[in-house]
Amino acid sequence: MDYKNYKLNVFQYILYGSIFLFLLATYSRLFYDSFIPVLLFIPCIYPYFNFVSRSLCSKRQRSLILQFKDMITSISASLNTGYSLENALVESLNEMSILYGENSLICMELELIKRKLLLNVPVGDLFGDLAIRSGMDEISVFSEIINISKKSGGDMISIIRTSAFSISSKISLEDEIHTSIAAKKFELYIMAFLPVFIMFYVNLTQPGFYESMYHNIIGIIIMSICLAIYFSALVLANKILRIEV
């Protein structure tokens, strides 16, 4: 599985496409009192699908790295009890199956690693392949640590245990940051729909209130400027809340 790219399936195309058309029709009705803009902005569905794909890709990577953190913690605990690295990986598969389920991302990767270990593929190469497919720096670092510790011939168990603790701490810190901004993202979603709700409420309670802004050039220009500012604010807010560690 290539975690750096996400391909929407047919159901997702239908689901997110329907959401896009519903929102587009809502904005067209509120800002222009017409559904003609729906036809004009239909091409925007392609960048919209790209945005959804990137969001789902990021979510899947986030899920993988959190499961990876628990995996290396499990491996570290097994190494402390005298397991070899290879046996620790097999034991970790059993624990992750209980924790996340057999169909989880980390279990699928551990099952693949387990099968390739039977073919005598080096553990470092297996995690290196996962690092390339996932695009996650933490997995890449863990792969390099395994390769270096095996080549150096030092206390591999101690090196991996210490490194696993450091990587796990970094992932935990990232998770805390994502959790702390989750409330802000929720506030962003509320603020995003608040203007639409207000316009809908005014239209419902005061029919004709926006009539002077509809079906004339000046009104269309003003409404278009307001809509552009609105979406620009949403894009800016989304970038501000996108924190990289």
> What proportion of the chain, given as a percentage, has pLDDT over 70?
97
Query: In this structure, are residues 146 and 85 in contact, taking their beta carbons and an 8 Å threshold?
Result: yes
CA distances in angstroms from 51 to 4, 27, 55, 57, listed in the order given: 14, 19, 6, 10
CA distances in angstroms from 230 to 79, 107, 143, 152, 234, listed in the order given: 54, 43, 45, 57, 6
Q: What's the whole-number average pLDDT of the chain?
A: 84
Highest mean pLDDT among 66-70, 147-151, 185-189 belongs to 66-70
Per-residue pLDDT, 11: 93
126-174 pLDDT, tens digit each: 888 988 998 888 888 888 888 887 777 666 677 777 777 787 777 778 7
Per-residue pLDDT, 107: 92
Given a cut of 90, whether residue 49 has pLDDT beyond it is yes
Per-residue pLDDT, 37: 84
Q: Give the residue, 244 or 78, on which the prediction is more confident.
A: 78
Residue range 88-101: mean pLDDT, rounded: 88
Per-residue pLDDT, 17: 92
Locate the DSSP E strands across 136-244.
none
Per-residue pLDDT, 12: 92
φ/ψ region of 120 (left if φ > 0, alpha if ψ in -120 to 50, else beta) reads left
Query: In this structure, are residues 136 and 129 in contact, taking their beta carbons and an 8 Å threshold?
Result: no
217-234 pLDDT, tens digit each: 888 888 889 888 888 888
- What band does 19 get if pLDDT is binned at 50, 70 and 90? very high
- What band does 244 get if pLDDT is binned at 50, 70 and 90? low
- What band does 20 get if pLDDT is binned at 50, 70 and 90? very high
